[in-house]
Structure 1
């Protein structure tokens, strides 16, 4: 037992070093021109996949990689709550919050429905829908713990996570360029353009990149609208977990009343947003906590990248990618219509 404990500690230490390197590379590269569209989390994931070429270190770090991909993910999402200023969201008004609720609910349902019509497996369809509807990679990783699968399907579920993250990263980048490209054709005010980008794009990085093309007013509107969607992550995770459990019970004929899955780390996410909003922590400390959030999330993403067979991902991603494209187009058109009518 003692030897196993030492091996476990060594594995965790090695995994921490490897994933930290990937996360730091992701953070650095995300600050470079053009790569900022991809974002630090996705770059960290890609670096983790690249690190699979170092077979011996990755294999020796396998136990630690599993721990980091699970626990650091939750810690990162909790700390991400400090990015949400609830007063700023309240000032954005009922229209913005209502738009976020409609966008998140509608996009998740639409993406999931189209995916299932295209014969995409349930678990992958849920993750792709959550990432498209809420906030990209962070939403995929936040919802995934609610999708309880048997131990023998854990590796397959990791592949689903990577595939869903890849889809929202690619589509978010493409639609960021589309939003910027069609901006002169839409004749929107800076506020309207900002709300449109925040409502329609996938990652926070995408909303920032596109919103900044419309100037400071547009950027502020884009960030507030996008963060309104991020706020939906906690309730969406709870609802999706409960629905998935009930759906599986019906399919298997299991009539026993199962325990409702409560994403406790999401409660930490909300508490962090309350603390960051109402306690005088200072802008520098809040910025540091948000950086720590992205660092831990980057390490979790890198660990995920190290633990999957990514060749398989590209072999079975065609239909879910098509579903996400269709729903992203509908989301963009809906966002344009809404800002024209109500903002």
Structure 2
């Protein structure tokens, strides 16, 4: 009876939080923002940013009419919008990351990409360590520093949001954490776009083969969209994508390691004296989706549709994140983190080019 009562109370609490007008309003709004972003990404220029970044920008833009037209002077509605957007960004993020696992064909990675996997492990590890060290030396707070480092080293916005699930903070710091997420996503989006254009412009001047240029793009550029765009420009989209997805796979290991590291170095001991590591359990779902999508024929046939669904769900999470963003905090805290990502991106591009020249 006690178990049944606990389950009933749990369901009742969540139903009261979900079944609200504010949740319906924000849910529909973020779904529309995500669908519009997915539509816009097919056009030149927008394709370089990708659907997730566009959805974030839409969320940031609609924040103002929501405040003036929907919230107004109502403190209750303001709190409802904040809670709804926070819940969507938090829970749909995890669902989207799990669904994104269907994009990883492990058979391809462990055959055609077998040479890329150790390179990805080295690139991701060094990039995160170097970027974090530079950011901290510049005075960036640890939370923002590690998110920017992960986004720069692994796979842009998806990595930022995935690693954010590894960072456990007290309730009073949740707003600061959300602002750090938005700043990190914006920074890696800007840097990824800039360096994609740089590599597309400089690539033909290096004398590299198409394969070497594709490896450089996949090993150095931040978003999957950036690596695909640069790889297509060089006629090496397949190898660029495989190299990039090898880095995406490293997100699982990075999330686990960072969860343990953050708990040891930055978590506070609660009043009851018991500490719990914010283990990113959803990463096990990500791996499970990869395995199922690779080895179950029926699921493999619909994997592209599941990946499209992942981007819709992640787009909703990004739009919700944009709705709650604090612009003053971004302006105040983001400049040094941007510089850290820029310096690291320069080093990463040179390192990736060196690897491509030596091994391909």
TM-score, scaled relative to structure 2: 0.90
Match of residue 265 from structure 2: 247
1:107 maps onto 2:127 in alignment: yes
1:9 counterpart (20, 23, 26): 20
Give, in angstroms, the shift of residue 147 of structure 1: 1.1
> CA 1:253–1:268 in structure 2 vs 1: closer, same or farther (change >3 Å)?
closer
Give, in angstroms, the shift of residue 64 of structure 1: 2.0
Give, in angstroms, the shift of residue 96 of structure 1: 0.8
Give, in angstroms, the shift of residue 27 of structure 1: 0.8
> CA 1:57–1:280 in structure 2 vs 1: closer, same or farther (change >3 Å)?
farther
1:311 maps onto 2:331 in alignment: no
Per-residue Cα deviation, 1:39-65 (whole angstroms, up to 9, x for no partner): 100110010011111215363533321
Alignment of 1:80-99 (within 5 A): 80-99=100-119
Alignment of 1:206-225 (within 5 A): 206-215=226-235, 218-225=236-243
Alignment partners' CA distance in 2, 1:156 and 1:248: 15
> CA 1:231–1:305 in structure 2 vs 1: closer, same or farther (change >3 Å)?
same
Alignment partners' CA distance in 1, 2:139 and 2:209: 41
Per-residue Cα deviation, 1:197-242 (whole angstroms, up to 9, x for no partner): 0000000000000000111xx1000000000000011110010010
Alignment partners' CA distance in 2, 1:95 and 1:257: 43
Alignment partners' CA distance in 2, 1:97 and 1:165: 25
Match of residue 255 from structure 2: 237
Q: Which runs of 5+ in 2 are unaligned?
A: 1-11, 72-77
Alignment partners' CA distance in 2, 1:341 and 1:219: 20
1:145 counterpart (165, 169, 173): 165
Q: Which runs of 5+ in 1 are unaligned?
A: none
Alignment partners' CA distance in 2, 1:166 and 1:341: 33
2:316 counterpart (268, 286, 299): 299
Alignment partners' CA distance in 2, 1:5 and 1:326: 47
> Superposition RMSD on alpha carbons, in Å?
2.1
Per-residue Cα deviation, 1:140-194 (whole angstroms, up to 9, x for no partner): 0001021111111111111100000000000000000001111121111111111
Alignment of 1:29-48 (within 5 A): 29-48=40-59
Match of residue 27 from structure 1: 38
Query: Bigger CA drift: 54-63 or 219-228?
Result: 54-63
